[in-house]
Amino acid sequence: MASIYKTNSLSHTVLLIDGNHFESSQLISPRIIEILKKKSKKDFKVFGIIDEHGNDIIVAPFVSKENRSAATLLEDVRTLGSVAQKVSVAVQLETISVASELSSELNFAFLEGFALTNYSFSKYKSNSSPQLKDIYVQENMLNDQAISTLNHIVKSVFYARDIVNEPLSGLNAKSLSGSAKSFSENVGIQYQELGIDTIRSLKMGGILGVNKGSLNDPTFTVLEWKPENAVNTNPIVLVGKGVVYDSGGYSIKVGDGMKTMKCDMGGAAAVFGSIYLAALEKLPLHIITIVPAVENMINEKAIVPGDILTISDGTTVEVLNTDAEGRLILSDALVYARQFNPEFVFDFATLTGAAMRALGSEGAAFMGTASQEIKDLVQAAAYYSHERVSEMPLWEEYAEQLKSDIADISNLGGPLAGAITAGKFLEHFTKYPWLHFDIAATAFLSHSSSYRLAGGTGTGIRLMLEFFKRYIANVQK
C-alpha cells in the first residue's frame, strides 16, 4: 500500500490548481498558463506535460461548477484526484509529489480520491498492473493529523476491499475472522471468536442452519473498541453479514447470479473496517462489532426449502427460500447484541437484489427504528462521504408478507418490496434503536466508477467515520 508523506521538496509532479483563477497561479509556469488560456474552462481536464527541466508534471485544474453543494464539490475533487492517479500511472510514474493552492478540505478530498484509486487486487496476477509506490504532499497542503487520517482511511478501506475480493478458495469463515484478529492486535481492539461449541450451546439456529451444507465450521466474531475517554455510556454495536459465499443453497442461484457471490461478506468487511478505522483514529467511542460468518452451500446435509430453524431467541423460522440466508444468520447476531444494552445497533449486509434494483449502485438502502436525530446524522455523513443512503419505510403492513402457516415467521416475503420485507424480518429480532443498511449494490461493482474501482469497494467505512465524528460532536455539544 502506498502511504502519504509530507515533503518539503520544491519539485512537484502533481499540481492541483484553482482552474477558475489559473491566470494568477503561482504553481504553474507561464507556458502552462498559455496552454490553459487556449482552452475553455469547461474543457479543463487533468493533463501530463514535460516541464522545462525535462520532468513529467501533471496539471489538475479544478473548476467548480455552479450550484454545487459543499458535499458534491468534495466529490468532484475526489474524482479529479482519481483521474490524476490514472494519468500518473499512465505516464509510468512510481512516486509523485503533490502541490496545491486549494483549501485543505479540498486537498483532503483530492488526495482521498487519488489514494483510493491507487489500488489493485493483484495477489493472483503473475504480472500485476503498476501502482504508485509513494505519495508525497507539500508541507502546507494538509496538517499532520489530516495526513494520518488519510492513511488510516486508505488502510481500512483497502483491508475491506482485499477481503471482499478474496474468493472462497482464499477466504472461509475462519480466515475472515482471522483477518480481524490480525488488525485487532495492532490497534488495541479486543478480539473474541466464539467457536463452534459456543455457537451450538447458544442455539444459534440461523447460523448453524445456513452453514449445514458446508464442510467448514461457521464463526462468530466479536470485536470491542473501548477507549477510556468514550463519550457514550452504552456501546454502539455494528453487525455485519459474513456469508463468505452464497450459492443460494438448494434454492440455487441461476445464470450469472452466483458469479459475484464472494462479495456476500461485504457487510462484514464494512463493520470490521469501520471499527478498525475508529481504533486507528482513536475515536472516543465505545464500539462493538459482531460478525456471523458462514458458507451458504449444498450437500446432503444442507437445509432445504420448507425446513424450520429455531433462532437463538426461540423464534421459529420456516425457510421457504434457502437463498434468503443473510437474514437467518443476522437474526442470531441481532439477538446476541441485546446483552450489550446498546445505544443503537447498525447492521450492514449485502442482503437483497431488490435494494440493488431500487437504487442501483449510487447508494445503499437503509431503514430502521433509530431516532430521527441518528438518521439525520447518518444522512449528513452519507452526503459528505458520498457513500449515500436512502431511507425505505418499515410500515407494519409489510410484516404480513412474512407470515408462516406453521412457524412464527417465514424468511421469504412476496415479489414486491423485497428490501423492506428483509428489513422487516430483521426488525423482529431487534429490541433497541436500530438501522439496517442494505449494501447489495454498493459493496461490489462490475465496472469502476471514479475511485470506486471494479470489485470490492470497501463501502460503509468512510460513511461510518463521518457518522462517528458527527455523533461525537453531537454528544459533546
Nearer to ligand BES, 109 or 324 (CB): 324
Of 45, 139, 66, the residue nearest 99 (C-alpha)? 139
**How is residue 210 written as a grid cell?**
445456513
Query: What is the closest distance, in whole angstroms, from the C-beta atom of residue 225 to ligand BES in the complex?
Result: 28
Nearer to Zn ion, 261 or 283 (CB): 261
| Residue in 327, 424, 452, 462 annotated catalytic | 327
List residues binding ligand BES (CB under 6 A).
Answer: 246, 264, 321, 323-326, 350-354, 356, 412, 418, 440
Is 327 annotated in the active site? yes
Measured from each CB, the residue nearest to ligand BES is 353
Nearer to Zn ion, 147 or 210 (CB): 210
Around 324, how many Cα atoms within 13 Å sit in the side-chain half-sphere?
Answer: 25
Task: Note whether 323 binds Zn ion by CB under 5 A.
Answer: yes
Query: What is the closest distance, in whole angstroms, from the C-beta atom of residue 112 to ligand BES in the complex?
Result: 26
Amino acid identity at 316: T
Is the distance from CB of 152 to CB of 112 less than 8 angstroms?
no
Query: What is the closest distance, in whole angstroms, from the C-beta atom of residue 348 to ligand BES in the complex?
Result: 12
Is the distance from CB of 244 to CB of 265 less than 8 angstroms?
yes
Torsion of CA 202, 205, 209, 211, to 10 degrees: -30
Residue from 101, 112, 166, 246 in contact with Zn ion (CB under 5 A): 246
Query: What is the closest distance, in whole angstroms, from the C-beta atom of residue 143 to ligand BES in the complex?
Result: 39
Measured between alpha carbons, how far apart are the two ends of the chain, in Å?
37
Angle at 221 between CA 190 and CA 439, to 5 degrees: 115
Task: Note whether 295 binds Zn ion by CB under 5 A.
Answer: no
> What whole-number distance in Å separates Cα of residue 248 and Cα of residue 463?
29
Is the distance from CB of 432 to CB of 245 less than 8 angstroms?
no
Length of the chain, in residues: 477
Number of shown-chain residues binding Zn ion (CB under 5 A): 6
Nearer to ligand BES, 98 or 402 (CB): 402
Is 174 annotated in the active site? no
Task: Note whether 61 binds Zn ion by CB under 5 A.
Answer: no
Distances (CA, A) of 41 to 64, 155, 321: 10, 35, 55
Nearer to ligand BES, 154 or 329 (CB): 329
Task: Note whether 326 binds Zn ion by CB under 5 A.
Answer: yes
Residue 459 interacting entry, from ligand BES, Zn ion, none, C-beta within 5 to 8 Å by type: none
> What whole-number distance in Å separates Cα of residue 307 and Cα of residue 324?
13
Task: Note whether 224 binds Zn ion by CB under 5 A.
Answer: no
Query: What is the closest distance, in whole angstroms, from the C-beta atom of residue 436 to ligand BES in the complex?
Result: 14
Is the distance from CB of 466 to CB of 385 less than 8 angstroms?
yes
- Point out which residues bind Zn ion (CB under 5 A): 243, 246, 264, 323, 325-326
For the annotated catalytic residues, the residue numbers are: 253, 327
